[in-house]
């Protein structure tokens, strides 16, 4: 079966956000997205429960059914085509890479995804990267991906980590500290977006920002926060570039 460790990847449900959740079940399954894709595509299914007791199920696309299929017990993926490694650009790849980035041991992600059962974490929505061939229809919302931005308790731990959640820390910090933190992140976002504009032809589409920043900030611990800031129209309108909100473009 295929390894689920992001280090081996190659480049290429109801919405919740800013919430503490417990992973109840993690498995691979064929999913048809409410009948929109028949007979379905291989996905990572994560069932979780929020602090308020709400049950949420999220499916993360893995790739083509020509390449992958769930194992008989749903704990792993079986290669059925030419592909030999998951793509980092898939929703499943992005989810697992973020998980490792915030501290989940990569060596624990072997071939059995059920290792995630019992994980307690804080999750947020981040903008999904632009996908070739997928055109946004009028009235469609910007696509996002639910990812872990903080691990509170690993599945095999008896007690939660003795760390303060970023969200809770922000609530107890002074207004000055909050302002300084936001200012630092804004400065980093401006720096990286300006660099992307300079490296190109001086023009960049807003919809391309998440994917480009995701790659550029691969090892930056502030990556998710910066991507979220960079997708905010108020921030883009105040930047050192010209932002056309109607066309969704930035120009130096």
Q: What is the pLDDT of residues 2-12, one digit of tens each?
A: 667 666 655 44
Domain that holds residue 221: 171-251
The mean pLDDT value for 199-205 works out to 84
- Structural contact between residues 83 and 67, judged by C-beta atoms closer than 8 angstroms: yes
Which has the higher per-residue pLDDT, 106 or 183? 106
The 10s digit of each residue's pLDDT in 111-154 is 999 999 999 999 998 888 776 555 555 555 678 899 999 999 99
Q: Does 161 reside within a domain?
A: no
Last residue of a domain, which of 153, 188, 218? 153
Task: Tell me the pTM.
Answer: 0.62
Q: Which residues, 6+ apart, have CB-to-CB distance to 204 below 8 Å?
A: 193, 196, 197, 212, 249, 250, 251
15 and 116 fall within a common domain: yes
Which has the higher per-residue pLDDT, 169 or 35? 35
- Give how many domains the chain has, as a whole number: 2
Burial class (CB in 10 A: 0-12, 13-18, 19+), 28: buried
Last residue of a domain, which of 153, 182, 215? 153
The mean pLDDT value for 189-203 works out to 87
74 and 125 fall within a common domain: yes
- Structural contact between residues 122 and 19, judged by C-beta atoms closer than 8 angstroms: yes
The 10s digit of each residue's pLDDT in 84-113 is 898 888 999 999 999 998 899 999 998 999
Which has the higher per-residue pLDDT, 4 or 201? 201
Q: How confident is the prediction for the chain on average, in pLDDT?
A: 82
Last residue of a domain, which of 104, 127, 153? 153
234 and 119 fall within a common domain: no
């Amino acid at each position: 079966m295929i390894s689920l460790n992001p280090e081996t990847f190659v480049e290429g449900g109801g919405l919740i956000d800013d919430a503490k959740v417990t992973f109840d079940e993690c498995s691979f399954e064929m999913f048809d997205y409410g009948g929109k894709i028949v007979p379905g595509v291989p996905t990572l299914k994560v069932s979780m429960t929020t602090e308020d007791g709400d049950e949420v199920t999220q499916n993360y696309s893995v790739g083509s059914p020509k390449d992958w299929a769930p194992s008989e017990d749903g704990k792993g993926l079986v290669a059925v085509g030419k592909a030999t490694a998951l793509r980092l650009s898939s929703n499943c790849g992005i989810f697992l890479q973020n998980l490792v980035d915030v501290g989940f041991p990569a060596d624990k992600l072997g071939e059995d995804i059920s290792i995630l059962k019992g994980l307690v974490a804080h999750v947020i929505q981040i903008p999904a990267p632009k996908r070739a061939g997928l055109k946004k229809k009028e009235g469609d919302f910007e696509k996002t991906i639910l990812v872990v931005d903080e691990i509170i308790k690993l599945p095999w731990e008896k007690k939660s980590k003795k760390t303060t959640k970023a969200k809770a820390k922000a609530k107890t910090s002074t207004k000055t500290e909050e302002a300084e933190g936001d200012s630092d992140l804004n400065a980093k976002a401006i720096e990286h977006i300006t660099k992307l504009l300079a490296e190109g032809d001086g023009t960049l589409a807003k919809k391309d920002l998440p994917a480009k920043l995701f790659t550029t900030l691969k090892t930056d611990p502030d990556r998710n926060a910066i991507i979220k800031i960079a997708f905010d129209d108020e921030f883009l309108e105040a930047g050192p570039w010209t932002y056309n909100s109607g066309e969704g473009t930035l120009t130096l």
